[in-house]
Amino acid sequence: MRCPFCAHDDSQVKDSRSSEDGAAIRRRRQCEGCGARFTTFERVQLRDLTVVKKDGKREGFDRRKLERSIAIACRKRDIAPERIDRLISGIQRQLETQGDDVGVEKIGEAVMAGLKGLDHVAYIRFASVYKDFTEPQHFAEIVESVESAPVVDNKDGRLL
């Protein structure tokens, strides 16, 4: 693994452990050139996904984009980071099982479904951007849809 600090080609693994409920391996490494320490993650990738945009353009799936959009929706919410990681990994696995090409609509719907079960405020935040709300009544409609959903304890995932 190349060092992100000095670009030296060799690094030594100092510690490995399972993360994201066994869906990834977290490795703590030390560069043999400069001695800097850094962390890497290894995840199973079933296939290379291609995202088909609304305008027909195609690009490779980027997990970091998914992480950023979910992080924005969950900002300042009391949600354990491990639960967010599990949500992201679950969405990615779900998309990988659906085929090589996936539309942005499927990604958006998968995120909305996951956030609805995770945190209602994060769900409404994401939905307001994804569905491009233009009128206050759109917010009222989405709030009505979550009022009947079960409430989940965001720290450990239990139903309240």
Across the beta sheet with 58-60, the strand order is 58-60, 50-52, 101-103
How many angstroms from the chain centroid is the CA of residue 26? 16
* Residues paired with 13 in a beta bridge: 29
Q: How far apart are CA 14 and CA 36, in angstroms?
A: 12
| Domain parsing of the chain, residue ranges | 9-44, 48-147
pLDDT at 148: 67
pLDDT mean across residues, the chain? 87
What digits encode the pLDDT tens for the residues 13-52?
999 998 766 778 999 999 999 999 999 988 776 678 999 9
Minimum mean pLDDT range among 53-57, 70-74, 143-147? 143-147
Q: How far apart are CA 104 and CA 66, in angstroms?
A: 11
What digits encode the pLDDT tens for the residues 110-148?
999 999 999 999 999 999 898 888 888 888 888 888 876
Which residue is it, tokens 């935040």? 125
The answer to pTM > 0.75 is no
